[in-house]
Amino acid sequence: MQNIDLEGEDHEGSFPPAVEDLRQKILESDCILFSSPEFNYSVSAPLKNAIDWASRPPNVWGDKAAAIISVSAGMGGARGQLHLRQIGVFLDLHFINKPEFFLNAFQPPAKFDSQGNLIDENTRERLKEVLLALQAFTWRLKTATHAEINA
């Protein structure tokens, strides 16, 4: 759980080792793919806690391209995704707009086998479209950033 008491005495730049590791992985990444079930119309508590730790100054989420996928009953996590997008505004994350990916895992045909492997071909194709859109958006952001720096 995020707790400023766990930060160094100066409360700047010193985090628990697991948090430092998470922050470094985010800094080294080109983009972020969030995958979370919906909890009470929002994101899960562990995801929110990780987001909060990584947003401590200096915020490591800033200017990253991102996408969201979710699997839940009913609307497949749509409300949780909307809340994550709202959180992302403060973090300066740039989410792809389309395609969106919501999956009701309990609606036939079966989407996963007994080991949890994704077996539904239509779902696999939709997921591939999200990943390709995230890749393309990531390169567009990187190109735009490099052009601004070199201008």
Angle 94-31-51 from CA coordinates, rounded to 5°: 70
pLDDT at position 117 is 94
Mean pLDDT over the full length of the chain: 89
pLDDT at position 74 is 80
pLDDT by residue (tens digit) across 36-82? Answer: 888 888 999 999 999 999 999 999 999 999 999 998 888 878 999 99
Is the pLDDT at 8 greater than 60, yes or no? no
pLDDT at position 106 is 84
Output the CA–CA distances (angstroms, integers) from residue 75 to 44, 80, 85, 120, 151, in the order listed: 16, 10, 16, 18, 45
Domains of the chain plus CATH, in order, are 4-150 (3.40.50.360)
Is the pLDDT at 16 greater than 70, yes or no? yes
